[in-house]
Amino acid sequence: MATSSTVQVSLPMPKIPRARRSPADIAAAAPVTGERHVLLAAPRGYCAGVDRAVIAVEKALEHYGAPVYVRKQIVHNLHVVSTLEARGAIFVEENDEVPEGALVVFSAHGVSPAVVASAADRNLRTIDATCPLVTKVHKEAVRFAREDYEILLIGHEGHEEVEGTFGEAPDHTQIVNNPDEADTIEVTNPDKLIWLSQTTLSVDETMETVRRLRARFPKLQDPPSDDICYATTNRQDAIKAISPKSDLVIVVGSANSSNSVRLVEVALEYGAKAAHRVDYASEVDEAWFEGVATVGVTSGASVPEVLVRDVLALLADYGYGSVEEVTTAQEDILFSLPKEIRAKLKEAGDDSRGPGGRITKSDISS
């Protein structure tokens, strides 16, 4: 007779909502001088590459059906990932976790040729959702390696984007993590040297790294065009504009989002008295509002606008109902969906692109 066995499952403790102090309690703890208001940075939130990658997974689920496997997080945002999981996406770390012959989407951060090859070995059907701006850096790495340049890749070792770019030319590439490493890194041929970078870095820190590299290697060449993407630059410029006027800055974004983490650093560097990153409005500590008249708000390039609205609603509850949007750039960039998705949509007669990631004035007032 077969015997049954008991499998013990460890369940996480349920989260208990934290009891918030009232607006009156906060006001009593530290009176505010002046009118409470919010400076809302623009641009913020979804960039074109994130928009494209998220829609690619949504359309894959719609037309291929669940499950759709995704290697790594499609973009670095907890809310986006959990929402797609609820619709049938399965996120994996490596291709060997995907059943042979199944459909897998490569994330917006890009993959190395070795990852592409391993997918082919397992007969996986692939959709490449790599951001076109990351693809541009990959092509630069291939080109300069072919021309026998030594490549200094400025970026964070271990980040998925850096792993993908490094994998295009590992024998020609060294990673430079920060300005201090620029002072110690050694190269083989300083006369044939070029730098490339991760697309989501701090613009100021990257330029400092380049300055220090060039002080040691005067013939260091620049990439043909900026590697740091337009969205990263624009969001950093916007936070620079509001930080000097902000007693507190709240950045909406996930801990593994490089560009979101950088926004907190930039806010502090440019004059914000305090700056914090949160995934959700529920993570905002009302104690941060003590003595605060002006709150700056922004979000990283992989953050849907609904999460920002939740933070604004919380702020309104605490007396910060006046919102001024501070715009430093206009964005109208859209990228075509991955070719595999475009072909599937054409086959199905689906001429919809899906929701866009642009932010307009009407979005704020509605």
Q: Is 254 annotated as a binding residue?
A: no
Is 224 inside a domain boundary? Answer: no
Output the six-digit token pair for 179: 């300005």
List the one residue out of 213, 238, 181 whose CA is nearest residue 359: 238
Q: Which long-range contacts (CB under 8 A, 24 or more apart) does 345-354 make?
A: 345/59, 345/63, 348/63, 350/59, 350/63, 353/55, 354/55, 354/58, 354/59
Domain identity same for 145 and 155 = yes
Last residue of a domain, one of 193, 216, 239: 216
User: Is the pLDDT score of 163 beyond 50?
Assistant: yes
Q: What pLDDT score was predicted for residue 351?
A: 81
Q: Give the mean model confidence (pLDDT) for residues 307-329.
A: 97
Is 285 inside a domain boundary? Answer: yes
Q: Is 159 annotated as a binding residue?
A: yes
Output the six-digit token pair for 347: 């086959």
Q: Is 257 annotated as a binding residue?
A: yes
Q: Is 229 annotated as a binding residue?
A: yes
Query: What pTM was estimated for this model as a whole?
Result: 0.89
Tell me the catalytic residues. 161
Q: Give the mean model confidence (pLDDT) for residues 97-126.
A: 98
Compute the distance between CA of residue 69 and CA of residue 35 in angstroms, rounded to an integer: 49
Q: Give the mean model confidence (pLDDT) for residues 326-344.
A: 93
Q: What pLDDT score was predicted for residue 353?
A: 63
Question: Domain of 322?
Answer: 23-46+230-327
Q: Of residues 350 and 15, which shows the higher confidence score?
A: 350
- Report the range of poorest mean pLDDT among 125-129, 336-340, 354-358: 354-358
Q: Is 199 annotated as a binding residue?
A: yes
Q: Is 22 annotated as a binding residue?
A: no
Summarize pLDDT for 294-317 with one digit per residue, the tens: 999 999 999 999 999 999 999 999
Q: Is 131 annotated as a binding residue?
A: yes
Q: What pLDDT score was predicted for residue 12?
A: 45
What CATH number corresponds to the domain at position 91?
Answer: 3.40.50.11270
Is 363 inside a domain boundary? Answer: no
Q: Of residues 2 and 175, which shows the higher confidence score?
A: 175
Residue 283: which residues within 8 A CB-CB, separation 6 or more? none
Q: What pLDDT score was predicted for residue 226?
A: 87
Mean pLDDT of the chain: 91
Compute the distance between CA of residue 348 and CA of residue 185 in angstroms, rounded to an integer: 53
Q: Is 109 within 8 Å of 337 (Cβ atoms)?
A: no
User: Is the pLDDT score of 361 beyond 70?
Assistant: no
Last residue of a domain, one of 152, 186, 216: 216
Q: Percent of the chain scored above 70 by pLDDT?
A: 91
DSSP state letter for 287: G
What CATH number corresponds to the domain at position 146?
Answer: 3.40.1010.20
How many other CB atoms sit within 10 Å of the CB of residue 273?
A: 14
Domain identity same for 258 and 304 = yes
Q: Give the mean model confidence (pLDDT) for residues 239-266.
A: 97
Output the six-digit token pair for 98: 């995907």
Q: What pLDDT score was predicted for residue 17?
A: 60
Summarize pLDDT for 11-27 with one digit per residue, the tens: 444 455 668 899 888 98
